[in-house]
A and B are shown apart, each in its own frame.
Chain A
């Protein structure tokens, strides 16, 4: 079963487009890029269909052989991988097709597709990996592609800054991941999933907790959980397809996948598992509050992504691993749709992103409107759309873990519904407040939107928990009807509230924001977290680098050493220069001196003899 083909196809696309793309016409670039991803999807589908009870594994070559420690380039497909594979390649293909239309008028066309293909390669490597090191290769690679794609419009300072920020914050997470890997090697002697997970039960809990916490640090960096979430909103500087693919559907889910994959370690380290749930829940609520007040449509969805990722972590942390993965899948559908739809709106308005300049677009771009409505209903947890099933499963599990988590989660669900529908109402209803000429997007854009809309509606019926039943230990909580009702009600209340504030009584929104002036400003400015980081972390580091390391060590010490050697030699030379007086008689005196010493030496030698 040629598993390596799955990542290799996009890699080939990257190489071809990257090297020759400049000379290709747009049609050729499209064919190469999208063809490679579609082929990868087809192959992945074939692999999944051929999957039976036992995982398919493939050992490609020995990478590291160092004494007793071996790491191979191993791929494996089991049920968890299957879900991820199909989501990544499927949603990825749709977004590739969408990009044809979205990036049609942009420069660097071939470069964009080349980077997208490279990203697919790394993401698929990450998903297919059968040991932590290959996973880490994919992990780092998607971070790199994220940086490249966020800073795609590299002429814009804000874009390159955002790219840097994403990469650096990711790096902090990667540091935790690397430490975790080192600990795993020390504890288990191998990085292979099978070896590690089989031996997990017998290792001391302290070690396992440490490993689990460090892995969590890595996951927080990649999946934008508190406190390492700050890069995701800024990542909206990249083109919208990038936001959809990387920062909604696939890359940010890598952390969730990694934690889910490592579930044997987490099951034996309950303290760490608890932390996962707490961080997830806190992030979900925290990000939702920020999303309430944002005016940029992409920023709203970005904070929504952070919040939904928090939900996934909550699911994982309460032991409902398959629910977390379930939500990962449904979230990929409706979040990608939300972003792509937002992209369609932005494209229709020729680049406008501020919702205060939108409105009344319902009639002007109907396809976009209806598909986005599906996504909005899905994310709000309205049955029977996809989001309802997955979010509900998580909330029920949360209740059985700790009831207060359920209540916070439900309120957050309400907030989710509120801000999404606020966005919908501000964008599509009322009077148009801008100056552009909105026009519907071409088919290459609307068809993927439609496909994703269908998936958002019916995707809930792909019963992932059942599919993954044998994989994860059965920790799924039984459904309780009352809990379901309450959470659905919360969603509906959110929608209603948004309707009231933005359609029925528009003035209400402004009056509330001015009455709660301080609170509003706090939320609008994202709780000044970025500013706090800047003051406490960034500035000291930069100051330290500049003053201590640059001026002190580099210029002072090292340059001083190098220059000092030079000037000392000069000084010494100047000294020795004085010996050369030009006076023959003093030279003669020196000669006499030397000869006296010689005589003494010879005499002594003679005396010894």
Chain B
């Protein structure tokens, strides 16, 4: 059961990911990205990360992607036109990418033997309660700092965007 669920949603995630990269129109890429996030949320659930899964849906797919779509609409971004002109990226990018992927996979295989099996429900520590407790005790300082960070981001966004509207 776990395996089937994993495979289905993993394939959805990869296909959507390829779609993100391949599609010409940004809106299609955005929608594919939402698909990726959704399947990732399911995978989180399989890994026992309930809180994170919910946060993923609400924050990532719900807020951030909506923001993206708004901007796409605002800018009236159309489909991409001609080919790119980055020689470096074209020449070296693909080989490097392949190398990267191959290396990482190899190392994963080497270093992490497939002994650990992920079963749904094997890890019960990802509840909101647990996360909250850790957040407000062990990770209190980063929590506060991130709140400041968000504040700064808001300010920055307003300043940047405001100037443009004047």
A interface residues (Cβ-Cβ under 8 A, vs B): 581, 583, 585-586, 588-590, 592-593, 595-596, 599-600, 602-603, 606-607
CB-based contact A606/B89 at 8 Å: no
Q: Assign chain B's interface to a size class.
A: 10 to 19
Contacts of B89 in A (CB 8 A): 583, 585-586, 588-589
Q: What would 16 A/B residue contacts be, using CB atoms closer than 8 Å?
A: A581-B88, A583-B85, A583-B86, A585-B89, A586-B86, A586-B88, A589-B88, A589-B89, A589-B96, A592-B93, A593-B96, A596-B99, A596-B100, A599-B104, A602-B107, A603-B110
Task: Tell me, yes or no, whether B84 is within 8 Å of chain A by CB.
Answer: yes
CB-based contact A600/B103 at 8 Å: yes
CB-based contact B86/A585 at 8 Å: yes
Most chain A beta carbons < 10 A, residue from B85, B89, B92 = B89
Task: Tell me, yes or no, whether B74 is within 8 Å of chain A by CB.
Answer: no
Additional 20 contacts, C-beta under 8 A, given A589-B88, A592-B100: A583-B88, A586-B89, A588-B89, A589-B86, A589-B92, A589-B93, A589-B96, A590-B88, A592-B93, A592-B97, A595-B100, A596-B96, A596-B99, A596-B103, A599-B107, A602-B107, A603-B106, A603-B110, A603-B111, A606-B111
CB-based contact B104/A593 at 8 Å: no
* Least Cβ–Cβ distance between B109 and chain A, in angstroms: 11
CB-based contact A593/B103 at 8 Å: no
* Least Cβ–Cβ distance between B85 and chain A, in angstroms: 8
Chain A interface secondary structure, helix, strand, loop or mixed? helix
Most chain B beta carbons < 10 A, residue from A581, A592, A600, A602 = A592
* Least Cβ–Cβ distance between B56 and chain A, in angstroms: 25
A99 to B33, CA, bound (A): 109
Chain B interface secondary structure, helix, strand, loop or mixed? helix
CB-based contact B88/A603 at 8 Å: no
Contacts of A600 in B (CB 8 A): 103
CB-based contact A599/B86 at 8 Å: no
Contacts of B111 in A (CB 8 A): 603, 606
A583 to B97, CA, bound (A): 19
A290 to B100, CA, bound (A): 96
CB-based contact B86/A603 at 8 Å: no
A588 to B85, CA, bound (A): 14
CB-based contact A593/B110 at 8 Å: no
Q: Mark B97-121, 1 if CB is under 8 A from A, else 0.
A: 1011001101100110000000000
A595 to B104, CA, bound (A): 11
A589 to B110, CA, bound (A): 27
Contacts of B103 in A (CB 8 A): 596, 599-600, 603
* B106 nearest CB neighbor, chain A only: A603
* A583 nearest CB neighbor, chain B only: B86
Choose from B84, B87, B97, B107 the contact partner of A603 (Cβ within 8 Å).
B107
* B97 nearest CB neighbor, chain A only: A592
Contacts of A589 in B (CB 8 A): 86, 88-89, 92-93, 96
CB-based contact B107/A606 at 8 Å: yes
CB-based contact B84/A585 at 8 Å: yes
Contacts of B99 in A (CB 8 A): 596
- Which 10 residue pairs spanning A and B have beta carbons closest together? A586-B88, A585-B86, A585-B89, A603-B107, A589-B88, A589-B89, A592-B96, A596-B100, A599-B103, A583-B86
Contacts of B107 in A (CB 8 A): 599, 602-603, 606
* Least Cβ–Cβ distance between B100 and chain A, in angstroms: 5
A602 to B103, CA, bound (A): 11
A581 to B104, CA, bound (A): 29
CB-based contact B100/A599 at 8 Å: yes
Contacts of A583 in B (CB 8 A): 85-86, 88-89
Contacts of B85 in A (CB 8 A): 583
A592 to B97, CA, bound (A): 8
* Least Cβ–Cβ distance between B81 and chain A, in angstroms: 16
A585 to B92, CA, bound (A): 11
* Least Cβ–Cβ distance between A339 and chain B, in angstroms: 89
